[in-house]
Structures are given as structure tokens and as C-alpha cells.
Amino acid sequence: MNNKKDIQDIVVSCNNKVEHMITTKPSRLTYERAAFLVVQAELKLKNLKLSAEDRQHFSMLREAMQELRKALQAGAKGDRKKYDVHMQKSQDLANEYARRVDS
């Protein structure tokens, strides 16, 4: 059975890799690779076996990851406005998830 630490490990690892990729060499290919990393993280999250307590608000975190993927896909297409909108949604959802889980 997995737990919240497993969730945190997947999300932190993915976010660190994505952030490093898009800040060191922002290009179309980099954004596409970063989006692929997010897809892999989404699959890992989906395959976790969580208790009912750990599943609370989990859909919000998965939605945050989807928004991050959409932002990176928009970045790959050069659509900065769409990138910013989806990135902000992703951050808002992730912050709300953290707030709900930590309280």
C-alpha cells in the first residue's frame, strides 16, 4: 500500500526535473520532453494503491498535473498566453491540494 510520501516523491521529482529542463534550455523540444515527464508522473500517480484517507483530494492533484502538461504542450507550440493560463491553474490547484491535505 502506498502513502502520501509516495505521492510527494513522484510530484517533487517530476516538478524538479521539469523546472530544471525549461529554465536551463527552453525550446520546443524541451517543452515536449518535459510534457512527457509529466505524463509518466501522471501514470505513476494513477497506479498508486492508496488508502481512503490518502485518496482524499487526490483528484485535485491529478488535475494540477494535467494542467501542467497542458501548459508545457502550449509552451512547445509557442503559445505563451495559454502556457501562462494553464501554469497558473496548475499552481493554484497544487497549492489548494497542499492546503487541504496539510490541514
The pLDDT, as a whole number, for residue 25 is: 78
**pLDDT one-digit tens code per residue, 23-80:** 987 899 999 999 999 999 999 999 999 999 999 999 999 999 999 999 999 999 999 9
Q: Helices marked H in the chain — which ranges?
A: 4-24, 28-46, 52-55, 58-77, 80-102
C-alpha distance from residue 49 to each of 33, 41, 44, 93, 98 (Å): 27, 15, 10, 22, 20
With 90 as the cut, is the pLDDT of residue 14 above it? yes
pTM of the model: 0.92
